[in-house]
Amino acid sequence: MAPVAATSSDSIKPRDVCVVGVARTPMGGFLGSLSSLSATKLGSVAIEAALKRANVDPSLVQEVFFGNVLSSNLGQAPARQAALGAGIPNSVICTTVNKVCASGMKATMLAAQSIQLGINDVVVAGGMESMSNVPKYLGEARKGSRLGHDTLVDGMLKDGLWDVYSDCGMGSCAELCAEKHVITREEQDNFAVQSFERGIAAQQGGAFAWEIVPVGHILSIKFVHFVTYIMCKTKSAITQVEVPGGRGKPSILVDKDEGLGKFDAAKLRKLRPSFKDNGGTVTAGNASSISDGAAALILVSGEKALELGLQVIAKIAGYADAAQAPEFFTTAPALAIPKAISNAGLDASQVDYYEINEAFAVVALANQKLLGLNPEKVNVNGGAVSLGHPLGCSGARILVTLLGVLKQKNGKYGVGGVCNGGGGASALVVELLRKTKDHQRRRGGEERGNLKYRTPATLSIANKSLFFNLPWRHGIQDKGRPLPKFGEWDVNDPSSAEGFTVIFNKARNEKKTGGKIESPGANDPACKQEAVAAKPQKTGARIGSYDGS
């Protein structure tokens, strides 16, 4: 979607909370491909990529709110570690948010509030978790081990997956939910299978390419990725961190959600109940998987978006929290979601798509049932059962996925909801901004200094076909002006949402010069001058979603 000019009276108000950049890492499996990276490193990866995609300099960031639940052994102030690791200045205030599974969403809500109150204009929000790296505790060791055995406590269970009020695992609360709302084992398994099938289809169809920043090192990438990097310098497309291959194998590039590769429907349906021996319905297959990952969103005020000429993907329209008895945390989203919709000034009929965190299949099913939602509008690209559930990350991850769904499905309003341990839930409403037909006809020429320069499509190495996204073919509308050199293109610039696809069809490559195929003129000295003159003028925010289509 190409960016278009907007004024403060045209869709965007000064204190609107605008989403201008998003990114998430792939969801790594438990002790899987991303387990060598700490939660804070994963957070840095997501923040850095989101800032680059948003075209926001780290020096402009005023505050960071970032979710993290399992902070043991991470060191002081995890959010600050993630922020500084992404190049954000030392002067920026950073706050770590722990609202269990809703941490990433609550961090986004706090960031939005700071903008609405006029405290900040540029804020980073999101969440991170590395469940693979949570230590185990010797709880009594500090007091001195005397006669007898010591007890080793799993920090992941103790601080993330255990209900302290009923002294039971969260899965036992899920069993209680299934009993109360009469949701069978078969229904839960069917939902889990659907989650995997939707996730796999989305992955294979390139739906997650818009969200994911591949994690790896330039020396570990495949040949086609290397060509992409050299030609287009897609520095934010490949995050430069070392991801060991394990057992002496070379470093790897991680660009897909790991859990989707382990799906076996037949085995899933045969798994034993995990939390209740007699009559249990919740299994490892219809529960979310333990995972590692991070997600980030760049939020700016409408005033700042207009000032910097940033591309606005969406606005945060409303949000809310809710709470009830701790053992019934599973259905708290059914309370938070209507409140958020009401706070946004909408009614449920106006919502196009929902993302409800699949802590367990029964959670999504119960809330779907209580709210009377159409299943075809809920978690259409899969959810935590198939993708994974890194606790502090998931609230932000579903917001990133929700924006992608709205973009791909031509929706306008979307709602994300997530339950959290202790009986709570958070929900947030987003409004995707789209260009008008008049803007489509103008094709973004006016905000580019009237040179009508069409920038190259955002190149994603996660697309199924790399070659159909390479920016070979020029798209300048003014009598075939030459292109800048490949290395001068920033294919991760959100303004590069249209033009430049490699087309091997001779008819489409020919210019109006008697049928001869001409070079793009990348070596023409005049090319650099025109490319500079053609850069977007920072005179107003631009509406649209950056992608490679």
Active site residues per annotation = 101, 389, 419
Concatenated DSSP letters of 293-354: EEEEEEEEEHHHHHHHTPEE-EEEEEEEEEE--GGGGGGTHHHHHHHHHHHTT--GGG--EE
Q: Are 130 and 42 in contact (CB under 8 A)?
A: yes
What DSSP designation does 263 have? -
What DSSP designation does 247 have? T
Helix (H, G, I), strand (E, B) or coil at 77: coil
Distance of CA 129 to the CA centre of its chain: 14
Among the listed residues 361, 195, 333, the one whose alpha carbon sits nearest the alpha carbon of residue 274: 361
Distance CA 532, CA 530 (A): 5
- Tell me whether strands 314-323 and 17-24 are parallel, antiparallel or unpaired: antiparallel
Distance CA 220, CA 48 (A): 20
| Structure tokens belonging to residue 420 | 């959290």
Helix (H, G, I), strand (E, B) or coil at 29: strand
Distance CA 300, CA 289 (A): 33
Distance CA 64, CA 90 (A): 12
Residue 280 burial by CB count (10 A; 0-12/13-18/19+): exposed, middle or buried?
middle
Name 83's Cβ contacts closer than 8 Å, sequence gap at least 6. 43, 44, 47, 61, 64, 66, 92, 94, 124
Q: Residues 65-94, buried b or exposed e (16+ Cβ, 10 A)?
A: bbbbbbbeebeebbbbbbbbbbebeeebeb
247: left (phi over 0), alpha (psi -120 to 50) or beta: left
Distance CA 466, CA 460 (A): 7
Q: In 138-180, which residue ranges form alpha helices assigned H by DSSP?
A: 155-160, 170-180
For 198, phi and psi rounded to 5 degrees? Answer: -65, -40
Q: Are 69 and 391 in contact (CB under 8 A)?
A: yes
The amino acid at residue 469 is: N
